[in-house]
Amino acid sequence: MIFTLVIHTAPYQAPAAGTALRFARAALDAGHSIYRVFFYRDGVHNATSLAAPPRDEQHIPQQWQALAEQHDLDLVVCIAAAVRRGIMDDNEAKRHEKNAANLATGFELSGLGQLIEATQASDRVITFGGMR
């Protein structure tokens, strides 16, 4: 089975981002594949390089990076939602005249077209986190 995951919540806002991470690991361990993980709305906060949770808590953004590196996953962050929330790569930081970028390594800014393409290429699309 080929999955696309859509994450709508920030890593420490609600359990959804952690649940998505656990689902991704379980699906991959069971032999399924993940076509794309798409971070949307507040879910874009999973892609920040500036997260610094206490040492006794899981570091969800870092865990997404490790999982992506291990399984060659495509981690796509909605560019409109990200920039609105201050998550930027070098190009967007320059374009918006900001002095720094904070998009974590392994994540890519892109548009909703990437989500549409992923839904067509996947058997199932699973959404984590409520839409307000």
**Of residues 37, 75, 77, 78, which has the active-site annotation?**
78
Query: Of 31, 6, 12, 45, which Cα lies nearest the Cα of 129?
Result: 6
Neighbours of 130 (CB within 10 A): 10
Catalytic status, residue 78: yes
Q: Six-digit token pair at 76?
A: 């796509």
In the three-class reduction of DSSP (H, G, I as helix; E, B as strand; rest coil), residue 86 is classed as coil
Query: Of 121, 20, 39, 36, which Cα lies nearest the Cα of 71?
Result: 36
Query: Of 18, 2, 9, which Cα lies nearest the Cα of 131?
Result: 9
Q: Cβ neighbours of residue 18 under 8 Å, at least 6 residues apart?
A: 11, 58, 60
Active site residues: 78
